[in-house]
């Protein structure tokens, strides 16, 4: 039973006030066909909308099943509209972008009926109204009468208790009107049908009861309800629409405006394209840098020298403070004292025997090769025909070659160098000539070895292999003068032939391999000896007269210059009186072992005061941290730029959703009339922006991917780097996600606005 008690409803448009319903009281039976008859503007539609829960009354009460609707919540009204009410409008109110079946199914969709059940019921309803053959058509392919049949089918499909028809034949010609009225009468079954009309004949012909309206008041009722009649009750259920349904609904709507959707997606994908391209470039460059680092940097040795720069954070800070302390081009007539920071920056590493042993004992699996540089000068003489000529080590780029810590000491050299002629050195008396990648050797080196470089431009390998020089021991090389000082022996022949001299032979010519790290390729080549040779010379020198004399003297025993502690140590080291190496270089296998190697070296420092610690130089680490920092910085700045694009897209999406809301106002009204909740309406638009977001994300990714091809060919032409720009799958996925979330965010506020729209207003809009 349905009762209206003293219902009043007033509309305000500006200052104009219209009393649409003025104290309406009427009761309806569970099953009857009532016609509400009245002239235009008498309040019929308003009354129907209030009965249908589409509109609210100002005062009075609507009582359903004896229960007042005063405390109805929104969801109660939604459920009521969905389950108990079927609306049939004068203007059909079908959703134009949905097929006929989908229109009929919509009410059930909202109440969460399963797909198959829904379809079955929709087909039954369509069959009843005689439209079985038109189910896949769109509403605009039908005649008015047919559209109204669809509306009837839609109203029936959910099997409501109350059928509300607002001028159902108002837009139809007479004969069609009759057909439609017959149909309504036929399908009415045991429902309460309330039909609004201004046509008295129609009311007479079809209705069991006629309620006449005038100026918002009931003026007559042919069969009023009387209290004694027994009443039966209507049933109420809850409604809900799934996100999937909302998606389908929006997908359909979007299909009707593909061009615009594409343009929108494209415009809002520009931000995504920007970020994707930047990310793929930065990933690519990072990969190039990593590759470069893997190629070269990881092969760069860790250097530990007696004199080292200490570049810790504290020193850096001090240096930057010093740099910014004074302004440029000052006007003051003053000069300022500058602290060169020499003291702060330079760090003296004291290589104790303990430390040298510690380094020597490094894990063989961490360190691929090790080389020592010592300050000791190798005194050398060569034989040229029957002449004896001194050889100056300083001209020969002379140094010791790195050795592997494993059983095969030459394996480090063999890994990085090709033997062009001869062999790798097998003992400490064998030298190797390192040529550069163009097989060149500095003329100074060749000259010292006795080759005439002025008249000849090239030598065969055989000319070089076997070349000999002799290392002369201190006691032969230096002699005392009558003043008790030392000087160089000039009897070269005697020195050369001395039994103490060591004969060095060039045993091999080697060249860096093609994939060898650039740090091992030095222009003009070098001559390399074994560190064992240096050690042997130093062992001998330790006991030599000149070293003993130098140890006891504060002046240079050769030049008579006065020495301080530092220069004395240097002189002694030069003479071989100090076994401590000047520099140790440790070659790691790769980045991982390098880290462990550095850990090992750091461990030694534990427990030492800062100035007692041993500081090493990790060039590779410095270079890579710098390059990584720069890359990160550039990427961040670029992404910030592209990010503003995203914000613009966001605003655009909001505007577009808003226009879509305006465009679909009617649809919102229809959905509400069918019992859609606010949530469902929001979902419909969220679903639309979701689709837009995914589309623009995907589009952006696809375009960005396509862009990487021309970008790569441009970069290749400019830098010779192959396929730098690379879009990572993870980045692509994240970007699509971001695009989706942002568009949903941008569209959500308009979607909420849509949900809040007044149903009656929405239905009135065109
Ligand atoms: P009927 O359906 O009998 O033609 P209505 O119920 O539509 O009449 O309207 C009753 C009165 O209320 C009319 O004067 C109409 O102009 C006014 N009215 C109806 N709906 C609105 C509205 N949404 N806003 C303002 N006035 C309205
Ligand atoms: Mg009306």
pLDDT of residue 263 exceeding 90: no
For 79, 163, 238, 752, 755, the CA distances from 677, given in Å and listed in that order, are 8, 20, 10, 12, 8
Q: DSSP assignment of 681-706, as one string?
A: HHHHHHHHHHHHHHHHHHHHHHHHHH
Closest ligand relative to 166 C-alpha: 2
CA of 79 to the centre of ligand 2 (A): 24
Residue 326 Cα to ligand 1 midpoint, Å, equals 82
Q: Which of 166, 122, 118, 172 is nearest to 146 (CA)?
A: 172
Q: Which residue has the tokens 């004074």?
A: 326
Nearest CA to ligand 1 atom 7: 45
635 CB-near residues (< 8 Å, 6+ apart): 278, 279, 282
- At 240 the pLDDT is 65
The band of 237, judged by pLDDT with boundaries at 50, 70 and 90, is low
pLDDT of residue 521: 60
Per-residue confidence (pLDDT) for residue 518, from 0 to 100: 60
* Per-residue DSSP letter, 115: H
Pocket-testing residue among 17, 45, 167, 216, ligand 1, by greatest number of atoms within 8 A of Cβ: 45
As a whole number, mean pLDDT of residues 654-674 equals: 85
Pick the residue whose CA is nearest to atom 5 on ligand 1.
43
Pocket test for ligand 1, best of 41, 87, 167, 669 (most atoms within 8 A of CB): 41
- Residue 63: is its pLDDT beyond 70? yes
Return the percent helix, strand and coil in the chain, to nearest 5.
50, 20, 35
Instruction: Look at residue 390 in the predicted model and tell me its pLDDT.
Output: 93
Task: Determine the distance separating the centroid of ligand 2 and the alpha carbon of 52, expressed in angstroms.
Answer: 14
**83 or 345, which is more confident?**
83
Q: Ligand 1 mean position to 42 CA, how many Å?
A: 8
408: pLDDT strictly greater than 90? no
Percent of the chain at pLDDT exceeding 70: 96
**Mean pLDDT, residues 478-483:** 90
pLDDT at residue 47, as a whole number: 95
DSSP summary character for residue 142: S
**Is it the case that residue 40 has pLDDT exceeding 70?**
yes
Kindly report each contact of residues 253-261 with a partner whose C-beta sits within 8 Å and lies 24 or more positions away, as own/partner. 253/97, 253/664, 253/667, 253/688, 254/688, 254/691, 254/692, 255/97, 256/96, 256/97, 261/692, 261/695
In percent, how much of the chain has pLDDT > 90?
Answer: 43
Mean pLDDT for 132-140 is 89
Protein residues whose CB sits closer than 6 Å to any atom of ligand 1 = 11, 13, 18, 20, 38, 40-46, 760
Query: Average pLDDT, stretch 379-384?
Result: 94
Nearest ligand 1 atom to the CA of 47 is 6
- Judged against a pLDDT cut of 90, whether residue 51 lies above it is answered with yes
Atom of ligand 1 nearest to the CA of 40: 4
Give the residue, by CA position, lying nearest to ligand 1 atom 14: 41
Which of 43, 89, 199 has most ligand 1 atoms within 8 Å of its beta carbon, as the pocket-test mutant? 43
Going by alpha carbons, the residue nearest to atom 15 of ligand 1 is: 41
Distance in Å, CA 43 to ligand 1 centroid = 6
What does pTM read for this prediction? Answer: 0.61
Task: Report how far ligand 2's centroid is from the alpha carbon of 754 (Å).
Answer: 24
Confidence (pLDDT) at 579: 86
**pLDDT band per the 50, 70, 90 thresholds, residue 343:** low
Yes or no: say if 701 and 732 are a contact pair by the CB < 8 Å rule: yes
E strands within 256-396? 302-305, 307-309, 346-348, 367-373, 380-384, 387-391
Question: What is the average pLDDT score of the chain?
Answer: 88
- CA 125 – ligand 2 centroid, Å: 26
* Helix (H), strand (E) at residue 654: helix 619-663
User: For residue 764, which atom of ligand 1 is closest to its CA?
Assistant: 23
Interval 148-182: pLDDT, tens: 999 999 998 888 889 999 999 988 888 889 989 99
Ligand number with the minimum distance to the CA of 170: 2
Q: Mean pLDDT, to the nearest integer, of 580-584?
A: 92
- With 70 as the cut, is the pLDDT of residue 231 above it? no
Residue 289's pLDDT band, with cuts at 50, 70 and 90, is confident
Three-class secondary structure of residue 380 per DSSP: strand
pLDDT digits (tens, 9 = 90+) for 686-713: 888 888 889 999 999 999 999 999 999 9
Q: Cα–Cα distances in Å, from 239 out to 113, 162, 236, 639, 674? A: 10, 17, 10, 45, 10
């Amino acid at each position: 039973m349905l009762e209206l008690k003293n219902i009043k409803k007033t509309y305000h448009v500006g200052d104009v006030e219209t009393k649409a319903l003025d104290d309406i009281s009427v009761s309806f039976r569970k099953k009857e066909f009532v016609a509400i008859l009245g002239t235009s503007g008498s309040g019929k539609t308003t009354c129907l909308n209030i009965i249908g829960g589409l509109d609210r009354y100002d005062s009075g009460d609507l009582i359903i099943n004896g229960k007042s609707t005063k405390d109805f919540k929104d969801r109660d009204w939604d459920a009521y509209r969905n389950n108990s009410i079927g609306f049939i409008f004068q203007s059909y109110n079908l959703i134009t972008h949905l097929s006929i079946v989908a229109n009929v199914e919509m009410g059930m969709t909202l109440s969460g009926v399963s797909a198959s059940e829904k379809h079955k019921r929709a087909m039954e309803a369509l069959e009843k109204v005689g439209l079985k053959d038109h189910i896949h058509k769109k509403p605009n392919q039908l005649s008015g009468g047919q559209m109204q049949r669809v509306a009837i089918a839609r109203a029936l499909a959910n099997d409501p208790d109350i059928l509300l028809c607002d001028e159902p034949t108002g837009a139809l010609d007479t004969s069609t009107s009759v057909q439609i009225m017959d149909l309504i009468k036929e399908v009415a079954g045991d429902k309460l049908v309330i039909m609004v009309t201004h046509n008295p004949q129609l009311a007479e012909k079809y209705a069991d009861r006629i309620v006449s309206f005038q100026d918002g008041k009931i003026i007559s009722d042919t069969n009023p309800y009387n209290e004694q009649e027994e009443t039966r009750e209507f049933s109420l259920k809850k409604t809900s629409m799934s996100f999937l349904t909302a998606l389908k609904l929006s997908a359909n709507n979007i299909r009707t405006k593909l061009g615009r959707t594409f343009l929108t997606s494209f415009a809002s994908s520009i931000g995504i394209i920007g970020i994707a391209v930047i990310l793929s470039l930065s990933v690519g460059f990072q990969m190039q840098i990593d590759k470069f680092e893997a190629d070269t940097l990881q092969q760069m040795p860790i250097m530990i020298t007696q004199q080292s720069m200490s570049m810790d954070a504290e020193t850096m800070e001090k240096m930057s403070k010093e740099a910014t302390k004074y302004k440029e081009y000052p006007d003051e007539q003053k000069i300022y004292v500058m602290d060169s920071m020499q003291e702060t920056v330079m760090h003296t590493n004291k290589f104790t025997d303990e430390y040298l042993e510690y380094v020597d004992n490094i894990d063989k699996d961490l360190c691929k090769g090790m080389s020592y540089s010592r300050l000791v000068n190798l005194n050398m003489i060569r034989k040229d025909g029957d002449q004896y000529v001194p050889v100056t080590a300083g001209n020969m780029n002379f140094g010791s070659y790195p050795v592997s810590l494993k059983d095969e000491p030459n394996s480090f050299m063999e890994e990085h160098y090709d033997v062009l002629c001869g062999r790798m050195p097998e003992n400490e008396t064998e030298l190797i000539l390192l040529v550069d990648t163009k097989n060149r050797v500095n003329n100074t080196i060749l000259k010292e070895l006795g080759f005439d470089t002025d008249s000849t431009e090239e030598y065969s390998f055989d000319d070089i292999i076997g070349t000999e020089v002799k290392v002369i021991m201190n006691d032969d090389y230096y002699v005392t003068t009558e003043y008790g000082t030392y000087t160089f022996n000039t009897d070269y022949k005697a020195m050369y032939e001395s039994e103490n001299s060591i004969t060095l032979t060039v045993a091999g010519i080697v060249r860096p391999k093609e994939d060898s790290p650039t740090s091992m390729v030095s222009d003009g080549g070098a001559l390399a000896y074994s560190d064992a040779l240096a050690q042997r010379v130093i062992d001998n020198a330790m006991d030599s007269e000149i070293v003993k004399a130098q140890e006891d003297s504060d002046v240079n025993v050769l030049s008579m210059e006065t020495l301080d502690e530092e220069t004395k140590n240097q002189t002694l080291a030069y003479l071989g009186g100090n076994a401590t190496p000047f520099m140790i270089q440790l070659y790691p296998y790769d980045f991982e072992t390098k880290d462990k190697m550095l850990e090992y070296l750091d461990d030694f420092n534990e427990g030492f005061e800062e100035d007692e610690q041993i500081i090493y130089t990790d060039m590779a680490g410095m270079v890579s941290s710098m390059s990584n920092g720069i890359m990160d910085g550039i990427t961040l700045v670029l992404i910030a730029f592209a990010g503003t694009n995203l914000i613009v897209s966001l605003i655009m999406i909001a505007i577009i959703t808003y226009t879509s809301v305006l465009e679909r106002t009617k649809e919102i009204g229809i959905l509400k009339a069918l019992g859609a909740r606010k949530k469902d309406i929001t979902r419909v638009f969220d679903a639309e922006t979701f689709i837009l977001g995914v589309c623009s994300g995907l589009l952006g990714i696809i375009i960005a991917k396509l862009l990487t091809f021309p970008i790569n060919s441009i970069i290749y032409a400019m830098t010779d780097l192959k396929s730098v720009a690379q879009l990572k799958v993870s980045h692509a996925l994240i970007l699509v996600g971001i695009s989706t979330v942002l568009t949903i965010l941008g569209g959500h506020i308009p979607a909420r606005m849509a949900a809040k729209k007044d149903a009656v207003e929405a239905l009135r809009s065109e």
